[in-house]
Amino acid sequence: MAVLLLGLLLWVGAHLFKRLAPKARASMGDRGKAMVAGLSIMAIVLMVLGFRSAEVVQLYHTPAWALHANNALMLVAIFLLGAGSTKGLLVDKMRHPMLAGVLVWAVSHLMVNGDQASVVLFGGLGLWAVAEMVLINRAAAWKRPAKGSISGDAKNLAATVLLYAVISGIHYWLGHNPFVAVL
């Protein structure tokens, strides 16, 4: 659990640095971007290793319907993660599509994983996404980008379906079939 917590803290710290110390981050220029990227990769590795090695301590049991809800919500989460960069119709309607995608991802995974490591990982990343949204909103008013187009959404939808298949395949390869409930 310590490795998981270290990875989570590293992720949160690297990403909140810009919000909590904007002048220090700005003074770093491109070095700061490289630092955040490097720390993010390290954090992901630590979170994965920590999660996979954590002792299973069941905190709650999930209902059977949650598996189907999770799978549907994952499509929404992936779509939102791509919405900010594909210039679809949501681009001028949602200020934080990527962070909203992380939050949907976290909630959907908490619906189907009631163990302690899952609550720490998914709950922690969900709380981080909410904190980022609050800090960004407090820092400055939103300057709405130019309206997007339906073609941006079509590209995002195609990428969403492809990425969903890849992620499902990775889950299956790691020994967890995301389409079959484990009772």
> Dihedrals φ, ψ of 58, to 5°?
-75, 125
Computed over its alpha carbons, how large is the radius of gyration of the chain? Answer: 18
Categorize the per-residue pLDDT at 181 as very low, low, confident or very high, splitting at 50, 70 and 90.
Answer: low
User: Where is mean pLDDT largest: 7-21, 121-135, 141-155?
Assistant: 121-135
User: The pTM is what?
Assistant: 0.87
Categorize the per-residue pLDDT at 166 as very low, low, confident or very high, splitting at 50, 70 and 90.
Answer: very high
| Pairwise pLDDT comparison (63 vs 116), residue with the higher score | 116
| Pairwise pLDDT comparison (129 vs 179), residue with the higher score | 129
> Dihedrals φ, ψ of 34, to 5°?
-65, -40
- Count CB-CB contacts under 10 A for residue 22: 12
Q: How far, in Å, CA of 128 to CA of 24, rounded?
A: 21
Is 117:7 a contact under the CB 8 Å cutoff? Answer: no
Q: How far, in Å, CA of 106 to CA of 129, rounded?
A: 9
Categorize the per-residue pLDDT at 183 as very low, low, confident or very high, splitting at 50, 70 and 90.
Answer: very low
